[in-house]
Amino acid sequence: MDRNSALTEEQGFLDVAVARRDTLIGHLRDELETDATDAVEVARRRMLRRQYEELRRAAEGLVFGRLDAVDGTVRHVGRIGLPAADGSDPLLLDWRAPAARPFYTATAVDPQGQARRRHIRTTGSVVIGVDDEPLDGRTGGLAGQGALLAALDERRTGRMTSAIATLQREQDDIIRASASGPLIVQGGPGTGKTVVALHRVAYLLFTHQHMAERAVLLLGPSTRFLDYIGQVLPALGETAVVAATCDTLVPGVAVDRTEDRVVAEIKGRAIWQDALERRVSSLTPRPRPLQVRWDGEFHTIPASVMTVSGRSYHRSRALFAAQLHQALASAVAAHRETLLESMDHGYEDILRRFDDDGDPSDYLMSEEEIDELAERIAEDATIGRFVESVWPTLTPEAVLRSVLADPDHLTPAEAAAVTAEPAEGWAPSDIPLLDAVADLIGSGSPASSGPFTADRARATRDWVYGHIVVDEAQELSEMQWQMVLRRCPSRSITAVGDIDQAEAAHRHTGWAQAVGAAFGDRWTAAELTVCYRTPREVMALTGPVLAAAGSRNTPPRAVRSSGIEPWQVTVTETELPDAVAQAVPQMRERWNGGTVGVIASARLVPMLRPFVGDAPLLTATQAKGLEWDATLLVDAAGIAAEPRGHNGLYVALTRCTQELGQLNVNPG
**Sign of dihedral through CA atoms 607, 609, 612, 617?**
positive
Is residue 305 classed as helix, strand or coil in its secondary structure? helix
pLDDT of residue 660: 98
When pLDDT is averaged across residues 534-550 and rounded to a whole number, the result is: 93
Residue 459 pLDDT class (50, 70, 90 cuts): confident
Is residue 601 classed as helix, strand or coil in its secondary structure? coil
Confidence check: pLDDT of 159 > 50: no
**What are 577-588's pLDDT values in tens digits?**
999 999 999 999
Confidence check: pLDDT of 200 > 50: yes
**Burial group, residue 361, by CB count within 10 angstroms (0-12, 13-18, 19+):** exposed
pTM: 0.80
pLDDT of residue 409: 96
What is the architecture of the domain spanning 536-666? Answer: 3-Layer(aba) Sandwich (3.40)
pLDDT of residue 356: 53
Name which residue leads in pLDDT, 601 or 593. Answer: 601
Residue-wise burial string across 555-587, b where 16 or more C-beta atoms lie within 10 A, e elsewhere: bbebbbebebebeeeebeeeebbebbeebbeeb
- CA 610 to chain centroid, in Å, comes to 35
**What are 632-667's pLDDT values in tens digits?**
999 999 999 999 999 999 999 999 999 999 999 997
Shortest CA distance to 651 belongs to which of 427, 468, 474, 470?
Answer: 474
Residue 142 pLDDT class (50, 70, 90 cuts): very low
How far apart CA 236 and CA 227 sit, in angstroms, is: 16
Average predicted confidence (pLDDT) for the chain: 87
When pLDDT is averaged across residues 54-59 and rounded to a whole number, the result is: 84
Q: Are 629 and 609 in contact (CB under 8 A)?
A: no
Domain residue spans of the chain: 3-140, 193-280+397-531, 286-390, 536-666
When pLDDT is averaged across residues 37-61 and rounded to a whole number, the result is: 81
When pLDDT is averaged across residues 107-126 and rounded to a whole number, the result is: 87
Q: Where are the alpha helices (DSSP H) in 189-253?
A: 193-207, 209-214, 223-229, 232-235
Q: Are 644 and 501 in contact (CB under 8 A)?
A: no
Task: Mention every residue, 6+ apart, whose C-beta is less than 8 A from residue 271.
Answer: 409
* Amino acid at site 620: A
Least confident range of 121-130, 285-294, 311-320, 442-451: 442-451
pLDDT of residue 553: 84
